A and B are shown apart, each in its own frame.
Chain A
Amino acid sequence: MSELNANSELSFDEMKAELVSLRYQVRELEQDKADLETVLEMTTEHSDTVEEELHSKAEEAVRESERRLRMIIEATPVAVVVTELATSIIVFVNAIAGPLAGSVPEELVGQKMTSFYVNPEERASLVSLLGKEGHVDHHEVEFIRKDGFKFWVDISMRYIDFDEKPCILAAWNDISHLKELNKAARRFVPREYLSFLQKDSLVDIHLGDHVTDEMTVMFSDLRSFTAISEDMSPQQNFDFVNSYLGRVSPMVRKNGGFIVKYLGDGIMAIFPGDADSGVQAGIDKLNQVNIYNAERIEQRRLPIEIGIGVNTGHMMVGMIGEAGRMQGDAFSDDVNLTSRVEALTKYYSVSFIITAATKNSLVDSSGYSIRFLDKVRVKGKQKTLTLYEVYDADLIESRLLKQKTHQRYESAMQHFYAQEFSEAQLLLLDVLQQNPKDKVAWRHLMAVTKCIENGVDDNWTGTTIMTSK
């Protein structure tokens, strides 16, 4: 009220001055408004200009980066193929990929990448792996060209935007030659041996790499080699040994073992698993020899004979030699002993001897035809070895006769070690009456007879002492 009163008290001149001031303020406000509008307009326009400029710069950068990418891809010494993610259609290939895929790059564009896979499902699984992991690195894949030529590649994949489309960039190297080399190298150091030494590649093998464990070792040898090879030329000799080894060696692998080394016509093999695999491999080898002999007899050639010794114990398996030339080997007392055991097959005229250590390690010894062979002390060793004969792979007649006389034979041997020589003699005579070709029984009969004739002293144990290796 008081303010109203104050205003009402303004004179005409004052009101006029007030009006002028108000008009001036309105002009200023109008100027400010116009300025603000101009500033707003300028700011918006500036913003649009800069945005447009940045956008074209970004587009140019993308185009530049694609140009650079193409340049890099062209210059790279590996084959590069870009395919559309949705269709698997090739949209770009570099100069290296063309000849490898058996075509010029221009002809490859537009084709489906899937058709280059020997197994097209492999591409699907690689793409799904790429989806899961975001990258695929160094997968080995077999490719096929239009002319049917197949080759192996080492392939890696990445997602990439190419010509503004989601694509897959695949880079690959032809590794066919490398694979051939690896295959060749594996013939010298088998894959099983590598994995046994816990190595991924031959490159990782070093002198002194080894594994120490309880394992089963097998020695086998061609017994009649000298007689058979006498009239052969060197080439025939090689062909013969390789033909024999080619038949028996796979039996080692088949049973989970690996050949550590060849010793002329001999084989040294290791079975890291149970002892059964070693025994089964021995039986399989002898069965192969039986088949081979049947063929040889048909060709009027002399049959061959082999001896196999198997033992189970602690041993070291690894690489020996020098850095420039190395080979696999196994050693320990048990390994040396196995070589002696194998040599004893000749002495006892049997094909396959295992030690008590092996027999006792068998998961199921009743699954095999095994009979006691002898107690021996080999030259240079103090320990008495108990040996067994495995006769599963004897020819059928011999095997049946050994099975038939098995009980009597075993009980004869028990009487023998109990110094009940007459009982042993009677039982052995009975065995031999049924199976006169049983050379082991003959040998024991001679020993028993000698004991009856000469008597035995208090220290007698019945152990056969070997005086030569």
Chain B
Amino acid sequence: MEIQHEDYMLQFIRENNTIICSGSFRLTGSEYVPIMDMLNSIADEKTDFLNINLTALKFLNSSGINTLCRFIMRLRKNEVTKVLVIGSNEFPWQKKSLANFKKLLPSLELEFK
């Protein structure tokens, strides 16, 4: 499963339950619909655990963070609690913004590379 675009990419690698989100997301609200749909379908698979690799995610706008928040909420609802988010030290915004995911899913773990 994947969505590819010139500026960004969303990939789900089922073998290791890993979502890879990379590039720059500068979409408007409605443009996130296919992305939200893909994330929802991953959440609904109710896997035992899930890795979210954001190490190559350069930029995410407000609608983008909103989409990810709703995805985390969906995971919580589906009781997928073993979630590891991997961020990058290269993009300072990630340190601040990704930490907030824990407010939505306290069991979520964060790791920065």
Chain B: minimal CB distance from A384 (Å): 89
Task: Please tell me which stretch of A45-53, A345-353, A450-458 contacts chain B, meaning at least 4 of its Cβ atoms lie within 8 angstroms of it.
Answer: A45-53
Residues of A in contact with B (beta carbons under 8 Å apart):
35, 38-39, 41-43, 45-47, 49-50, 53
Q: Which residues of the other chain, A, contact B59 by a CB distance below 8 angstroms?
A: 50
CB distance from A60 to the nearest CB of B (A): 13
**Residues in B3-50 with C-beta less than 8 Å from chain A:** none
> Across the interface, which residues of B come within 8 angstroms of A45, CB to CB?
96-97, 100
- Is B108 engaged at the interface, CB distance under 8 Å to the other chain? no
Say yes or no for B89: interface residue by CB 8 A criterion: no
Q: Are B97 and A49 in contact (CB under 8 A)?
A: yes
9 of the cross-chain contacts (CB-CB < 8 Å) are A38-B103, A42-B97, A42-B100, A43-B62, A43-B69, A46-B65, A46-B93, A47-B62, A50-B60
> A49 contacts which chain B residues (CB < 8 A)?
92-93, 96-97
Provide the main secondary structure of the chain B interface. Answer: helix
State in angstroms the CA–CA spacing of A45 and B97 once bound together. Answer: 7
Q: Which of A39, A41, A47, A53 contacts B70 (CB 8 A)?
A: A39
B92, A42: Cβ atoms closer than 8 Å: no
- Residues on B with C-beta less than 8 A from A38 are 69, 100, 103-104
The size bracket of the interface on B is 10 to 19
Q: A49-B93, A50-B97 are in contact. List 19 more A-B contacts (CB 8 A).
A: A35-B104, A38-B69, A38-B100, A38-B103, A38-B104, A39-B69, A39-B70, A39-B73, A41-B100, A42-B65, A42-B69, A42-B97, A45-B96, A46-B93, A46-B100, A47-B61, A47-B65, A49-B92, A49-B97
Q: Establish whether residues A46 and B62, one from each chain, have CB atoms under 8 Å apart when the complex forms.
A: yes
Docked CA distance A35–B74 (Å): 11
Residues of A within 8 A of B103 (CB): 38, 42
Main secondary structure of the interface of A (DSSP, over half): helix
Q: How far is the CA of A194 from the CA of B97 in the complex (A)?
A: 73
Assembly CA distance A50 to B64 (angstroms): 12
- In the assembled complex, B107 has its CB within 8 A of some CB on chain A: no
Least CB distance, A7 to chain B, in whole angstroms: 31
Contacts of A39 in B (CB 8 A): 66, 69-70, 73, 104
A35 cross-chain contacts in B, Cβ below 8 A: 73, 104
Q: Which residues of B contact A46 (CB under 8 A)?
A: 60, 62, 65, 93, 96-97, 100
Chain B min CB distance to A31 (Å): 9
Q: Which residues of chain A are near B92, meaning CB under 8 Å?
A: 49, 53
Residues of B within 8 A of A53 (CB): 92-93
- For residue A34, give the distance in angstroms from its CB to the closest CB of chain B: 9
Query: Using Cβ atoms and an 8 Å threshold, which residues of chain A touch B66?
Result: 39, 43
The chain B residue with its CB closest to the CB of A39 is B69
- Shortest Cβ distance from A14 into chain B, in angstroms? 28
Nearest Cβ on chain A to B41's Cβ, whole angstroms: 20
- In chain B, positions 64-106 with a C-beta closer than 8 Å to chain A are 65-66, 69-70, 73, 92-93, 96-97, 100, 103-104
The residue on A at minimum CB distance from B76 is A35
Bound-state CA distance A46–B100 (Å) is 9
Q: A39-B69, A43-B66 are in contact. Are A50 and B104 (CB under 8 A)?
A: no
Shortest Cβ distance from residue B73 to the other chain A in the assembled complex, whole angstroms = 6
- Which 4 A-B pairs have CB atoms at the shortest separation, nearest pair first? A46-B97, A46-B65, A42-B100, A39-B69
Choice from A41, A42, A50 contacting B61 with Cβ under 8 Å: A50
